[in-house]
Amino acid sequence: MRLDGVPPNHVTFVGLLHAVTVRDSVEQGKKIHGICLKSGFSLEPNVCNSLITMYAKRGSMSESERVFSEAPQRTQVSWTSMISAYSRHGDYESVMNWFNQMLSEQVEPDSITFLSVLTACGRKGMIDKGRELFDSMVQDYRIEPSPEHYSCMVDMLGRAGRLEEAEEMVNQIPGGPGLSVLQSLLGSCRTYGNVELGEKAAEGLLEMERKDSGTYVLMANLYAEKGQWEKASRFKRAMREEGVLKKIGFSWVDVDHAADGSLALHGFSSGDMTHPMAEEIHGVAGFVGMEMKFLREREVEWYECGVMLESVGCIG
């Protein structure tokens, strides 16, 4: 586009910043930020919001705050971007500070703002505050709760072991609970060993998605922990009969620059040997593991030595 002499506009930069945010490529993001500054679009509201999100996702909160403070127009989206960023990092205090500042500036929160705040409350275990905010969202701001809001509330109550309240919340959902709500409820049932409620959640999940391995695994583990081996075996057998396979987790990392100057993304999974440098990677991983074991052993030795010296009065 640049080679053809077509000048970028704010929509161009929003698209570029979204792409590098998804890719977690902060170096490319900084380059694009520099071009934004030179092109005069760095203060455009949508570009500012994209910059805030891009920096925040990589943990550069000071950069996000700097962009926010320099923005000539702080919109609802700008405030929500900052609140969402701190929520993703699990910083409850900062989330509430920014949320209260937003309200003091007479900027009305939207459904995404509340979802971020409720998520932060759930991670911090602030159940009563979360319920207060949920009620305020519905009653004061007339915002219809989405499945994500209900899922957040069910997860919040479930994490705290308040499973009866979580079930009540599930029953209040218009049109019935969705997949994410029931998955959250089932996870909490497994954590607190509630077989009866877990069976209800699993039944609903299997009606929606019979091929989801998580439901089978969670229920089998829940039964096993309660010593109900026959039921655990039944779920494992059903999993095999349905041809359901446990999903493999993947990780991605930028480790080098590709030939064209962009960051090269490498993917890995457990036991993966398909990468062209698999042997070298496993060798380094093994070496790091030995280093960690050695340091852990030395730490134990120093601790035991300190305890011994303290017991004979050499240190205190």
* Per-residue pLDDT tens digits for 43-68: 888 888 888 888 887 778 888 898 88
Asked if residue 111 is part of any domain, the answer here is no
What is the pLDDT, as a whole number, of residue 309?
58
Give the CA distances from residue 291 to residues 270, 277, 300, in Å, rounded to whole numbers and listed in that order: 21, 21, 14
Top-confidence residue, 126 or 275? 126
Residue 208 falls within a domain, yes or no?
no
The pLDDT score that the predictor gives to residue 316 is 47
Residue that finishes a domain, picked among 71, 94, 122: 71
Using alpha carbons, select from 54, 63, 48 the residue that is nearest to residue 19: 54
- By the 8 A CB rule, do 232 and 224 touch? yes
Residue 106 lies in a domain: no
Please state, in angstroms and rounded to a whole number, the distance separating the CA atoms of residues 141 and 102.
14
Cβ atoms of residues 109 and 80 within 8 Å: yes
Find the distance separating the first CA and the last CA of the chain, reported in whole Å: 69
pLDDT category at 285 given cuts 50, 70, 90 is: confident
Higher pLDDT, 140 or 254: 140
Residue 279: pLDDT band by 50, 70, 90 thresholds? confident
Give the separation between CA 199 and CA 85, rounded to whole angstroms.
36
Write the pLDDT tens digit of every residue in 8-42: 898 998 998 888 877 766 678 888 888 888 888 87
Q: Is the pTM of this model over 0.75?
A: no
Q: Is the pLDDT of residue 263 over 70?
A: no
pLDDT recorded at residue 37: 86
Dist. CA 165–CA 154, nearest whole Å: 8
Q: What is the domain extent for residue 39? A: 1-71
Q: Is the pLDDT of residue 121 over 60?
A: yes
Whole-number CA gyration radius for the chain: 25
Assigned domain for 163 exists = no
pLDDT value, residue 303: 60
Mean pLDDT throughout 127-131? Answer: 94
Share of the chain above pLDDT 70, in %: 89
Report the 10 Å Cβ neighbour count for 66. Answer: 14
Q: Which of 71, 94, 118 is the last residue of a domain?
A: 71
Per residue in 185-231, pLDDT (tens digit) is: 999 999 999 999 999 999 999 999 888 888 888 899 999 988 999 99
Question: Is position 190 within any domain?
Answer: no
Cα 305–306–310 angle (5° rounding)?
Answer: 120
CB 134 within 8 A of CB 118: yes
Burial of residue 263, with CB atoms counted within 10 A of its CB: 0-12 exposed, 13-18 middle, 19 or more buried: middle
Distances (CA, A) of 55 to 18, 147, 273: 11, 28, 33
User: What's at 17, amino acid-wise?
Assistant: L
Helix, strand or coil, per DSSP, at residue 135: helix
* Domain assignment present for 247: no
Asked if residue 39 belongs to a domain, the reply is yes
Question: Residue 130: is its pLDDT beyond 70?
Answer: yes
More confident residue, 295 or 167: 167
14, 41, 71 - which closes a domain: 71
Residue 145 sits at the vertex; the CA angle it makes with 126 and 68, to the nearest 5 degrees, is: 70
How many structural domains compose the chain? 2
CA distance 313 to 243: 65
Q: Which two tokens stand for residue 264?
A: 């090269």
Position 185 in a domain: no
